[in-house]
Amino acid sequence: MTGMYHSIYQEMIHILDEDLLFGASDAVLQPLQNPEDIMDQPHKHVIGHGVLASEMHATWNPVKFLMFNDQLCKKYFCIDSSGNPVLCKGAWEEYLWKVEEFKECFYFLFHQIPGMPK
């Protein structure tokens, strides 16, 4: 059983690192590192637990990495007749399937390790 959990965890980490974050390092992604970056802020009318203080900061760095990497940019964006970048449907559908695979691995581990039914 333990071997199965480890293999699913390794698959989940591989999907996250290689397929979803494109192998970018922490230095490139600049992850949130301070406790105040992830917290509830009821005085600012933000509801929920663990709300990101700056969602744009968390989202923009991977997108910036994608746009400035020529190989990835060509895979995920095309140039239309007017010269504007457009999303390449097939590449983004593949990306979304990887998101689903990651979520399934996470849900499996999240429910199985503590013994909760799915």
d(CA 103, CA 23): 18
Indicate the SS3 state at residue 38.
Answer: strand
Given a contact cutoff of 8 angstroms between Cβ atoms, the answer to whether 111 and 117 are in contact is yes
Give pTM, 2 decimals. Answer: 0.70
| Average confidence score pLDDT of the chain | 80
Position 29 confidence tier, pLDDT thresholds 50, 70, 90: confident
The tokens describing 55, both together, are: 């969602």
Position 84 confidence tier, pLDDT thresholds 50, 70, 90: confident
Our CA angle for 17, 51, 35, nearest 5°, is 75
The continuous run of DSSP H or E covering 85 comes out as strand 85-87
Position 42 confidence tier, pLDDT thresholds 50, 70, 90: low
